[in-house]
Each structure stands twice: as C-alpha cells, then as structure tokens.
Structure 1
C-alpha cells in the first residue's frame, strides 16, 4: 500500500481534534502531548516558567501541547523520547553515538510543535480581529516540508542520498543545572545547551550551513567549548541560517510501499551564492543577544567593525582553549 502523506497546510487544519502528525481524529481533551518533553521539563523545573509566543502572548512550557493519537505517541514518540532522554542523561558521548536521524526527528517534533502552537495563536488572533489568516507561501512551503520529513518517524519515508539538516554537537563546560533553549521558526533553527554539551540543528538546509562553517568546525575539532564560545558559534549559525537564500526543493519518489525524498540541487539555475553577504554589524546584534548573560554590548562587540569580538579564535585565527577563558561559566 503506497505511503499516504498528511499535509495539514492543504486545508490549514490546526484543530485539536486531529492528530498533528497523521491527521486522524483524536479526543481533544485526552489525546495531547507536550511540545517540551516531560523528562526535560522535570529536570530543569520548566513546567510553570513563562514562554512568549510570536504574537507576544504568554503561556507556560507545560501548556505548549499538540494533539496526538495515543497509538502514534505510544509507538513512535515515547520510544524516541526515552532513547533521547537516556542519552542526554549520560552526556555528550552518548548523544554523539545516537543515530543523527533520531536527533533530527526529535528536534523536528520540537520545532513543528512550536509551529503548531504559533499557527493556532495566529489564526485565533486574526479571526478575533475579523481578518482572514495570512501567511507567506514560502513559509508554508518550508513548514510543510518539515512536516513531511517528520513523518519519517511513523512511515517508510527515506532521504535519498542526502541529509535535510545541518547538525552541530559540541562538548561544553556548562554549569551543572544550566539549560538554554533557542529556536528561530522562520529559519527552522534549533539549539539547546545543557549538561556537558550543546546541540544546534538547522532543520531544512540540506547541510548548507555546516558546509558554510566547515573551516571553523575543523579548527574546533572535538575540543570542549566554554559556554560563551558555544553561544558565539550558535550566533554564527543562527545568522547564517538567516542569510541562507535558497528554498530547498524535493522530488517525492514512491517505490512500492516506500517513499523516497530526493533533494534538488540548491544552486539550481541561480548563479547567486547560497548565502547573502555577511554584515558584521547585523551579526554583532545577534551575538549581543546570545551573550546577554555576560553583559557584552554591541558597541564593544563591533568596536573593530572589520573584526567583531570573539572567543573562539585568537588574533592569529587559532582556536582558543576553553580553559584559557577566564569569564565565569
């Protein structure tokens, strides 16, 4: 039987009466799961903490939920969460040993869960104002592809010779109870820093951001980072994800009961570089936000406009060992 792909963007169905992954009918009061997994919220006391949505409304971490069929949750999401939780408990080496696809699926569920909640809030707000809900076609295109790829968790959907993501995993000398989560929905970029690690995933760039930062990655190697170094790398990736100017396109190839996703070349017929021009002042603004904990201001960061402040590399372009950074972690 051919794979049947569910696309909620075809009908803009973001009702709590339909499973967010499969579209099947669910009980809206009983069949819902947390966007932030329970194990993560308990570990870092997140449940009652405020979470601001894009429309400026405030909810809590525990109230971010998506409708999900009980069988889908029990068969696919619960085992994935258990495997991820066990690996995160053990630390960097165990997470590094995980199948990358599982990390992608876990992050995709996270980000798509955020998208689902943002869509619900946006639809509710615009309807309350007597307006039709509007969203750009390019964003719909991107979000629907992410949802398609997330269905690799419950259907025989395979990526044909490519990775749809860029994944960065580092050892980080974090404080014991530190937890930092960030996402950027428009660029589908996700990061989390906890225990002895930091993880960044660009969910739909076909590996372009990893290639863009390869020279710096080679200098870092497998050396541990100071938290400020990880946040610096994070800022670089979040900014480059913003500069990435292609909309990845895919061919869907049904083969028997399986579906293969084939990536079209990113360059296509366009001779323009894949990334727009890097502007240090704009990057400095991003970095200032990522460095809030340490209090560095934009004026300090771009004191030399040609060479913004940084802790990853020294003046000679060599990697700075985390132990040589005297800031408080």
Structure 2
C-alpha cells in the first residue's frame, strides 16, 4: 500500500487519543512512550529531575510522554531505541560508525516530543484564558517539516540526494556522572554531552550550519575536546542556527509505494546571505550561558570585542589541546 503522509499541523491534532507519528486512533490514552527513553533516564537518575517548559511550568523528565500506538512503538521505535542505546553504551567509537540518519531520527523524535508537550501545554493555557491557540506560521512550517522527516522511521520515506540536518560529533573528556542536554525548539537545535562524546544536530537546515562552520571544523574535527571546548563549539552552532534566515522548502514525490523528499535550493529567490550578521556581543551572551558551569561572565568573555575568549583556539588561531586547559573549579 502506498505510504500515507500524516500532517498533524493541518488540523492541530495534538490529543492523547491519536498516535503522534501515524495519526491512527489509539486504544486508550494510556498508550504512550517516554520522550526521554527509560535507559537514558536510568543511567543519569533523571526520572524525577525538573524539566522547565516554555510557559515556565515545571514537569519532570518522566512526565514527558508522547501518545504512540503500541504497534508502531514495537515495530519501529523500540528497535531504533535499542540500537541507539547499545551504541551510546559503547561510546564515541561506535557512534561515529552509526548511520547519521538514525541519530537524526532519534534526536528528532526526542525534540518533537518536547515540542508536542509544549504545544499541549500552550493549548491548555490559552483555552483556560478563553483564547484560541495561536502559533506563528513559520514555527508551524518548521515543526511540520520535522514531523514529515520523522516519518522516515516508519514509512518508506527517502531524502533525495540531501541531508535535512547538520550533525557534529566529537570525542569529549566528560565527567562520567554528568548529563549535558540542551535544546532550542525555535531553531530545532539539539545537543547532548554524555559518556565520552558530544553530539549536536541542527535538525532542519539542509546542512547549512556545517558549511557555515567549515573552517572551524577543519581545525577541530577528529580532535578530543575538553567539555568547555565542546560547549564553546555548541555555542557557535546554537548562535548560527539562530542567525540562519531561511525556511527550507521541499517537494514530496510519491513513486510507487515510496515517497521521495527533494530539497528546494536554500538560496531561493533571495540574494540575501543564508545567515544574518554575526555579532560578537550576542555570541558572548550565548557563551556566558553555555559556560555557566565555569562561571565566566560576559565582561570577561568580550573584554576584547573583536576576539571573544576562546578555549578552542589560541591567539594565532591554532587549536588548543584539551590537556593544556586548566580551569578554576
């Protein structure tokens, strides 16, 4: 039977009685999956830790769930989860051999799960105030494109000669107990720093952020990073994802039982660069947030506004070895 694309944003279908991935009716509202998988929560004792939603309400990690058909979960999501869990258990060397699309699907499902919970929370809040739920068209566009891509998990959906994402993977000298997670749902950017690795994915940029940072990547790819170096690079990516000013468009091409997704050129009709102008003061504010563990303040970071503080590169632009970094505790 030909693949049927499900479009939850067309009818704002975010109820707990419908499978998030397929739109099929569920047997009961108890048919749900954890957004943060149980193996990850158990590894870092996350179940009862607080997770702050955009409306400032607090949930716990284990509260965050997605309505999902038991059949879809068993056939598609559990095998993906098991493969990711086994790979993460081994660490960096196994992850770098994994098909990048599986990392994209796994991270995308997690981030979409948070988006789904944020939307449900927003709908409840606005209904309580007697208002219709309202969300910007550009955000709906991004979220629905991500949902389309996620259907490659359970359907024969193929990306035609492109990757919808930029993925960055590094070996990192992490503290074993530390769970480093960060996301930005408006730009669909995800970062995870655990075990002996750090992973960042821009989920909807067609590889633009990888191209934008290619000179930095040439110097650091394949190197082992200190956690503060990984956070610095993360800060660069999260900031450039914010500067990225295109909404990617796609053609959907059904061919027999398969669906092919073709990316339209990002440049489109505009002569404007793909990224807005980099501002070191704003970047410094991002770094201050990413370096919170080490207590560096904005004034220190941008003491020289032309050359913000860096632990990745020395004054001549050369890479600093992780072993040479000493930091205040």
TM-score of the alignment, normalized to the shorter chain, above 0.5: yes
SS in structure 1 of the partner of residue 152 of structure 2: helix
- Which residue of 2 is the match for residue 102 of structure 1? 102
Deviation of residue 29 (structure 1)?
3.6
- Which residue of 1 is the match for residue 31 of structure 2? 31
SS in structure 2 of the partner of residue 62 of structure 1: helix
Distance 2:130 2:305 in 1: 47
Distance 2:221 2:104 in 1: 21
Q: How does 1:130-141 map to 2 (within 5 A)?
A: 130-141=130-141
Distance 1:151 1:176 in 2: 34
- Which residue of 2 is the match for residue 189 of structure 1? 189
- Which residue of 1 is the match for residue 61 of structure 2? 61
Distance 1:236 1:28 in 2: 44
- Which residue of 2 is the match for residue 42 of structure 1? 42
Partners of 1:28 and 1:67 within 8 A in 2: no
Structure 2 gap segments, 5+ residues each: none
- Which residue of 1 is the match for residue 165 of structure 2? 165
Whether 2:254 is the aligned partner of 1:254: answer yes
| 1:97/1:155 CA distance change after superposition, 3 Å | same
Deviation of residue 177 (structure 1)?
1.1
SS in structure 2 of the partner of residue 10 of structure 1: coil
SS in structure 2 of the partner of residue 251 of structure 1: strand
SS in structure 2 of the partner of residue 15 of structure 1: coil
| Deviation string, structure 1 residues 64-115 (Cα, Å, up to 9, x no partner) | 0000000000011101111000010001000111110000000010010001
Partners of 1:236 and 1:283 within 8 A in 2: yes
TM, length-normalised to structure 2: 0.99
RMSD between aligned alpha carbons? 0.8
Distance 1:93 1:218 in 2: 20
- Which residue of 2 is the match for residue 202 of structure 1? 202
Q: How does 1:214-225 map to 2 (within 5 A)?
A: 214-225=214-225
SS in structure 2 of the partner of residue 9 of structure 1: coil
SS in structure 2 of the partner of residue 7 of structure 1: coil
Q: How does 1:288-299 map to 2 (within 5 A)?
A: 288-299=288-299
SS in structure 2 of the partner of residue 141 of structure 1: helix
Q: How many residues align?
A: 329
- Which residue of 2 is the match for residue 308 of structure 1? 308
Distance 2:158 2:302 in 1: 44
Distance 1:305 1:240 in 2: 18
Distance 2:28 2:250 in 1: 33
| Deviation string, structure 1 residues 101-134 (Cα, Å, up to 9, x no partner) | 0000000100100010000000000000000111
Partners of 1:174 and 1:196 within 8 A in 2: yes
Deviation of residue 28 (structure 1)?
3.8
TM, length-normalised to structure 1: 0.99
Deviation of residue 328 (structure 1)?
6.2
